[in-house]
Amino acid sequence: TTTVEEVRQAALLSSQKAKGVSESSQKLVNISKTGQKSVEETTVEMNRIRVQMESIAKTIISLSEQSQNIGGIIASVTDIADQSNLLAVNAAIEAARAGEQGKAFAVVAQEIRSLAEQSKQATVEVRRILNDVQKATNTAVMVTEQGSKAVESGVKQAIQAGEAIKALADASSEAVQAAMQIVASSSQQVVGMDQIGKAMQNINQAGSENSASMKQAESAAKNLNEMGQKLKQLVSQHKI
């Protein structure tokens, strides 16, 4: 009976500990689900950022191409300005040869030459600005590429983290199920030990009752023995 009670207490303690493990594992499952949801949201957001980065990169590349086209136009304008300047010089020479009749033409040639020079200076300034824009564009392209790679790496890491958290959640779920099975088994053991304990008490009671019955039987046997002795004496007397 004492051993059965000790086993019952051990099974009860095991059941309580298994219940605590089950509750802790369930909390871990809930935390893992929350973390997995956060990782999924982060992955979606990073994918959205990646799409935006790709769009920005395409826009910058298009800007770079347009800048190159503008550079070609500036080169053409510079050539036209040089040709205009050369024509203006030739016109001034011809006007000088014409004398009085070419003075008006000389003034026009001078104005054309002045405009050509201004156009050339303007194209030089525009080219300088365009070079700065081109440099900034190239830098932006490099930064965008690095950002895209960083986002891509972040997406991969987020996916790996999500898979790890999912594996942890699955393992925690298995732990919860195992702990619940242990709780159920321990509870059955406790019930079985209670039944065994009651059976042992019944056996003890039956043993006690049997012991009392044996004592009564022993007393009755003594009485029968005494009666037999008396009867034997009476028989002996009767024979005499």
Residue 240 has pLDDT above 70, yes or no: no
Report the pLDDT value the prediction gives residue 218, as an integer from 0 to 100. Answer: 83
**CB neighbour burial string for 22-34, b if at least 16 within 10 angstroms, e if fewer:** beebbebbeebee
Report the pLDDT value the prediction gives residue 19, as an integer from 0 to 100. Answer: 76
Report the pLDDT value the prediction gives residue 35, as an integer from 0 to 100. Answer: 75
Angle between helices 2-98 and 103-239 (to 10 degrees): 180
Average pLDDT, the chain: 77
Report the pLDDT value the prediction gives residue 184, as an integer from 0 to 100. Answer: 75
User: Which residues lie below 8 Å from residue 4, measured CB to CB, with a gap of 6+?
Assistant: 193, 196, 197, 200
Q: How far is Cα 148 from Cα 145, in angstroms, rounded to an integer?
A: 5
pLDDT per residue as tens digits for the range 202-228: 887 887 888 888 888 888 888 888 887
Report the pLDDT value the prediction gives residue 50, as an integer from 0 to 100. Answer: 77
Tokens for 103, please give them.
């003075």
pLDDT per residue as tens digits for the range 141-189: 787 778 778 777 877 877 877 787 777 777 777 777 777 777 777 777 7
Report the pLDDT value the prediction gives residue 98, as an integer from 0 to 100. Answer: 72
pLDDT per residue as tens digits for the range 166-176: 777 777 777 77
Report the pLDDT value the prediction gives residue 101, as an integer from 0 to 100. Answer: 67
Report the pLDDT value the prediction gives residue 238, as an integer from 0 to 100. Answer: 66
**Per-residue confidence band for 239, with pLDDT thresholds at 50, 70 and 90:** low
pLDDT per residue as tens digits for the range 18-33: 777 777 777 777 777 7
CA triple 152-161-142, angle to 5 deg: 15
pLDDT per residue as tens digits for the range 74-107: 777 778 777 777 777 777 777 777 777 667 767 7
